[in-house]
Amino acid sequence: MVLTHFRFSRLALSLTVLWAVHLQAAEKPEQDEEDELPTMVVTASRTAQDQRTLPQSTNVVEQKRIERFQATSPSEMLQEQPGVWVNQVAAQGSPIIRGQMGNKLVYLWDGVRINNGGIFSGPNPFFNQFPIDAVGRMEVVRGAGSVQYGSDAIGGVINVFSKHGEFSESLNVGGDVYSRYGSNNTEFTNAANMHASNDMWAFAAGWSAQDAGNYHSSTGPLQPTSFHTSGGYANLAFQPVKGHVFRVSWVGNERTDVNSYVQSQLNANGVPRIYSPLERRGIVKMDYTAKELGFLSDELKVYGYYQYYDQLRERRVQTATLFNNTITNSDQDVWGVGIQNAATFGKKKNTRLVYGMDYRHENLSSSQRLSTQVIATGLTTSSVPAGITPDGIYEVFDTFVTLDLKPTDKLLLNMGARYENTHLHSHPEPLDVIPGAGYTVSDLAANKYWNAVTWNVGAVYQATSSFDLVANIATGYRTPTYSDLLSAGTPVFSSLTASLPSLAVNPEKSITYEIGARVHTARLKGSLTGYLTKLSDLITSTTSGTVVIGGVTYNATRNSNSAQGYITGVEFALSYDLDRHFTIFNNTTWTYGQNQSQNVPLRFIPPLYGNFGVRFESEQKKCWVELSELWAGPLIRHNTSDEIDAGFSVDPALGSPNATNNPPINSNFQIPSFFVTNIRTGVKVWEEGSRSFSLTLNLNNVFDTKYRQAYAQQQRQAAGFNVVVGGRLTF
């Protein structure tokens, strides 16, 4: 309690200093609501739409916010956003939205789906495998998005938009260079961007490189947590006739020497267990957009894309006599095509129809090599070990339709439906089977088809010009992946269990009910949303005896659709302009989840959390200061599966909690609460026309608070005090 009072006292002191400046500022003049430009959101409806007319709950992270935040990774850019829990350290980090993470969220890059048939449950790095300075904007849909994007969109959708050029009436050439340094992990980031456009062509391209060392907590360095990354983007648009745009875009990124802290101290020789020498991902997309084709089409889109992903992962295990290094090479190639049309009907243009179809084909393959060294002699041999997820294909066809109808000036109705067909076909070989693990090649031979239909109904009622009531009901589902059906062996991030093939699993299903209120005036923006998500046919692991792998006995588990449950929560967000210079803000999120079949909490339910603070911005936005307090209550409820999760041990470097050298962080597995103070400021040092130079300074975890974020397997403690200074020259 004393610590909590101290946190609030230091924030109150900071607010007092800022308020003294506030008394010298003039009051902000009132302005008409109509004078404000609406915030347009693409992800929620697949076409640009005013955020205030959407029944879904959405977050928009603009480029200005991204540049000011100076995040280490894309997922960290979502920290402090309403309804999004981010556990972040080094190259790792996976957002949680409404109690869902990993394969229960859909990740998009410029609308291209990143999720594929190889994605696994729990935290995954997919979202962070993109160039840090290529991100121009983010949109988040909180809640089911399966009508718009199909499988996996149970908890939400995150869409990352790359920077791109805009058409201009005359020749416009420019760009910027950016460099920053972070003291905590000796991070160096450098980037360069350029653009050129006229009324027919628009081109933008950029490249960034990042070198991050081991990060430091308040108790000292945590190693290994370092990584290197570099990548870029290019976007070329051609407009031969106004309203008709052909576009070719590319984004690619390569991460090397990605180190994992979890299990890193289990080997007697000190070599970390888990290491990724290479992760490479890229997307090439071509699309054509035509607008105003007549009464049957306001906007027609045709698109195709190719996506590749390659990863090398090493798992290094020392025994009494041997040092084994298993190197896994994963290769994923995905191509897809689609078409979408939007049309507006009626005398008052009060009916809008969006419909389309998509198809994607995935080739998934992996291979292994085992290097074995005899410790006594140093003799090393190489072999191909048994036991790996078999190769195969994963293909999906879908068709969808959404309808916006405005029966009165104050009421907007939204309806939609999607049909999706998924085919998983594996090609196992005898070497894919782990000897003695209790399954055969036939247990890995899958040729499965699944069909799913989802729907949603929503409404926005404009009670006044600045106050809306919203409601939405949406179904969702998640089709099984290779990981659900065919993954076998010991999981990377757990040291006490082994999984067996489970060909009988079927899709998980959900239905989400949400209701809320929103206020939007010239000075006040706020929302309050309550929701209930019912989950059925949940894929869970159940104990199935023991197996002996490599001479070690493990508890064996199989997946099955053996559970149902629910998640409920409340999301609150508020931003209020005190005057033309000062803004106060706050958001708070509460989430509660229960596995009703087993009468235990669901996994990955975050504690009560949020942030609050104040922002100052000078005239003409020459300088700004933001004070923000990030906080979380204690994680009191946990699933029994968490008791073997390394993230709940005193030191995840020693693996799962145990009674000898690595007990749970608390005897009841609770994660303590925390308050973390961050100060961000920036100044435009020089400006002349479109050219400028600006500096940004972030003081993260100002008081070097010792804390851990829930579900962070890569943390003994979260990052301590960090000074991040960046400079951007625009020309």
- The secondary structure of 459-496, three-state, reads EEEEEECCEEEEEEEEEEEECCCHHHHHCCECCCCCCC
pLDDT in tens, 115-150: 999 887 777 777 888 899 999 999 999 999 999 999
Is pLDDT at 161 greater than 60 in this prediction?
A: yes
pLDDT in tens, 674-704: 999 999 999 999 999 889 999 999 999 999 9
At 121 the pLDDT is: 74
Pinpoint the alpha helices (H) of 637-719.
none
Q: Which among 227, 242, 64 is positioned nearest to 137, based on CA atoms? A: 64
At 437 the pLDDT is: 80
Higher pLDDT, 558 or 403: 403
The gap from C-alpha 133 to its chain's centroid, in whole angstroms, comes to 16
Q: What is the mean pLDDT of residues 637-643?
A: 88
The gap from C-alpha 680 to its chain's centroid, in whole angstroms, comes to 23
**Separation of first and last alpha carbons in the chain:** 51
> What whole-number distance in Å separates Cα of residue 173 and Cα of residue 166?
11
Amino acid letter, 417 = A
CB 111 within 8 A of CB 164: no
At 550 the pLDDT is: 67
What confidence tier does 347 reach under pLDDT thresholds 50, 70, 90? confident
CB 274 within 8 A of CB 492: yes
| Residue 664 per-residue DSSP state | B
**Reduced to 3 states, what is the DSSP secondary structure of residue 262?**
coil
At 435 the pLDDT is: 82
> What whole-number distance in Å separates Cα of residue 711 and Cα of residue 394?
30
The gap from C-alpha 28 to its chain's centroid, in whole angstroms, comes to 36
User: Which element (helix H / strand E) includes 68?
Assistant: helix 63-69
Count of beta carbons in the 10 Å neighbourhood of residue 646: 22
The gap from C-alpha 644 to its chain's centroid, in whole angstroms, comes to 25
Share the mean pLDDT of the chain. 91
CB 684 within 8 A of CB 692: yes
User: Which element (helix H / strand E) includes 340?
Assistant: strand 322-345
Is pLDDT at 466 greater than 70 in this prediction?
A: yes
Amino acid letter, 404 = D
- Indicate the pTM of the whole model: 0.93
What confidence tier does 530 reach under pLDDT thresholds 50, 70, 90? very high
> Which residue is associated with the tokens 């920077």?
163
Rounded to 5°, angle at Cα 614 from 610 and 618? 145
pLDDT in tens, 178-210: 999 999 999 999 999 999 999 999 999 999 999
Strand duo 92-97 + 172-182: pairing: unpaired
Rounded to 5°, angle at Cα 476 from 471 and 477? 170
> What whole-number distance in Å separates Cα of residue 51 and Cα of residue 141?
11
Rounded to 5°, angle at Cα 676 from 672 and 677? 165
At 14 the pLDDT is: 44
CB 497 within 8 A of CB 486: no
**Reduced to 3 states, what is the DSSP secondary structure of residue 429?**
coil
In words, the CATH class of domain 2-730 is: mainly beta
What confidence tier does 500 reach under pLDDT thresholds 50, 70, 90? confident
CB 524 within 8 A of CB 555: no
Is pLDDT at 10 greater than 80 in this prediction?
A: no
Structure-token pair, residue 559: 């997946």
> Which residue is associated with the tokens 């907590």?
217
**Reduced to 3 states, what is the DSSP secondary structure of residue 101?**
coil
Q: Which residues contact 120 (CB under 8 A, 6 or more apart)?
A: 102, 103, 481, 483, 487
**Reduced to 3 states, what is the DSSP secondary structure of residue 236?**
strand
Q: What is the mean pLDDT of residues 369-396?
A: 94
What confidence tier does 36 reach under pLDDT thresholds 50, 70, 90? low
Is pLDDT at 489 greater than 50 in this prediction?
A: yes
Q: What is the mean pLDDT of residues 617-634?
A: 94
> What whole-number distance in Å separates Cα of residue 400 and Cα of residue 357?
6
550: left (phi over 0), alpha (psi -120 to 50) or beta: left
321: left (phi over 0), alpha (psi -120 to 50) or beta: alpha
Structure-token pair, residue 578: 């005190």
Is pLDDT at 29 greater than 50 in this prediction?
A: no
Domain boundaries, the chain: 2-730
Is pLDDT at 548 greater than 80 in this prediction?
A: no
At 492 the pLDDT is: 53
CB 669 within 8 A of CB 717: no
Radius of gyration of the chain from its Cα atoms, rounded to whole angstroms: 26
Structure-token pair, residue 730: 């625009």
What confidence tier does 438 reach under pLDDT thresholds 50, 70, 90? confident
At 491 the pLDDT is: 60
| Residue 30 per-residue DSSP state | P
Is pLDDT at 53 greater than 80 in this prediction?
A: yes
CB 84 within 8 A of CB 96: yes
Q: What are phi and psi of 512, to 5 degrees?
A: -115, 130
CB 336 within 8 A of CB 358: yes
pLDDT in tens, 290-301: 999 988 999 999
Q: What percent of the chain has pLDDT over 90?
A: 79
At 488 the pLDDT is: 79
Is pLDDT at 11 greater than 60 in this prediction?
A: no
What confidence tier does 453 reach under pLDDT thresholds 50, 70, 90? very high
Is pLDDT at 714 greater than 90 in this prediction?
A: no
CB 429 within 8 A of CB 442: no
What confidence tier does 7 reach under pLDDT thresholds 50, 70, 90? very low
Amino acid letter, 122 = G
Q: Which residues contact 467 (CB under 8 A, 6 or more apart)?
A: 517, 518, 519
Q: Which residues contact 94 (CB under 8 A, 6 or more apart)?
A: 75, 87, 101, 102, 122, 123, 124, 125, 127
Burial 392-422 (b: 16+ CB within 10 A, else e): bebbbebebebebbbeeeeebbbebbbebeb
Say if residue 74 is preceded by a cis peptide, omega within 30 of 0: no
Rounded to 5°, angle at Cα 352 from 350 and 354? 175
What confidence tier does 553 reach under pLDDT thresholds 50, 70, 90? confident
What confidence tier does 38 reach under pLDDT thresholds 50, 70, 90? confident
Q: Which residues contact 464 (CB under 8 A, 6 or more apart)?
A: none
